[in-house]
Amino acid sequence: MRIALIQMTPGTERAENIAQAQRLVAEAVTQGQAELVVMPEVWSCLGGVRDTKLSASEVLPTPGDAGGVLYETLREMARQHGIWVHGGSIGERVEQDGATRLANTTLVFSPDGHEAARYRKIHLFDVVTPNGEGYRESDTYVAGEDVTTVDIAGIPTGLAICYDMRFAELFLALRAADVNMVLLPAAFTQQTGEAHWEVLLRARAIEMQAWVVACGTTGWYVEADGTKRQTYGHSMIVSPWGDVVLTLGSEIGWGVADVDMSLVEKTRQRMQVQQNRRLI
């Protein structure tokens, strides 16, 4: 399968973000002949105050029904280009305990525009980075609960989002579900990206003996309090042996790679880690 990573610099203007995404996806398909495109985390709205995030979000429909602007944009990309679309993640508006909250949600569409999967980010980014910057995703978002897999053109695939990559138990659960590939959109910070992005992605691929496809945002955005923050970019595809077969830099753009799924079984046969597992 030929997979494209769509590396974006989103801001708070949803319409501008949509236009950027449509342009890059069209280029990846027409110039790169992509069969599956993978977009980054919260590409539809990054930064701004809580109300900005809420206004850029939407309630997701029952699969098969018509949805909002973002939902239909992703579905139309799949239909128009005849490709699989992994929609990174968007803000899903949900009601919880009488209050309007958001979920950080992935949507996957098949080439006919059918919704094949949706996944809510399980692990919320509530941390203080070494330079003292604080992040509290749980102030705005609710956590998902379900480990999610999807069949993409016959490839059993696991779904994760950004901070999820630090939790090996999720990836071991996906390995137990016998996935051959994991798709992971992200908006990794510059500081943590420089320190941990590649090493964690390679570790997850090695321990799962599966392809890991990670697509990140890049560049600067502005938080609610006016703070400017930088995301890392460097979107990456890693083989089941831990080899980096594609990496982008820090610019807006896209890249494609041909992913050989036969490497999964070859790797697992040579080193039967799952059969040798003792502790879970």
Q: Burial level of 199, CB count in 10 A (0-12/13-18/19+)?
A: exposed
Catalytic residue among 58, 115, 121, 137: 121
Per DSSP, helices labelled H in the chain are: 14-30, 50-56, 69-81, 168-176, 190-192, 198-208, 262-270, 273-276
Active-site residue, 266 included: no
Catalytic residue among 45, 58, 162, 215: 162
CB atoms within 10 A of CB 127: 14
φ, ψ dihedrals at 46, nearest 5°: -125, 120
In this structure, the strands spanning 99-109 and 141-142 are parallel
Beta-bridge partner residues of 67: none
CB atoms within 10 A of CB 269: 9
Catalytic residue among 41, 92, 115, 137: 41
Residues 6+ apart with CB under 8 A from 32: 2, 4, 254, 255, 256
Active-site residue, 228 included: no
Backbone φ/ψ region at 87: left (φ over 0), alpha (ψ -120 to 50), beta: alpha
Q: Residue 69 and residue 71: Cα distance in Å, rounded? A: 6
Active-site residue, 215 included: no
> Using an 8 Å Cβ cutoff, are 44 and 53 in contact?
no
- Give me the active site residues, please: 41, 121, 162
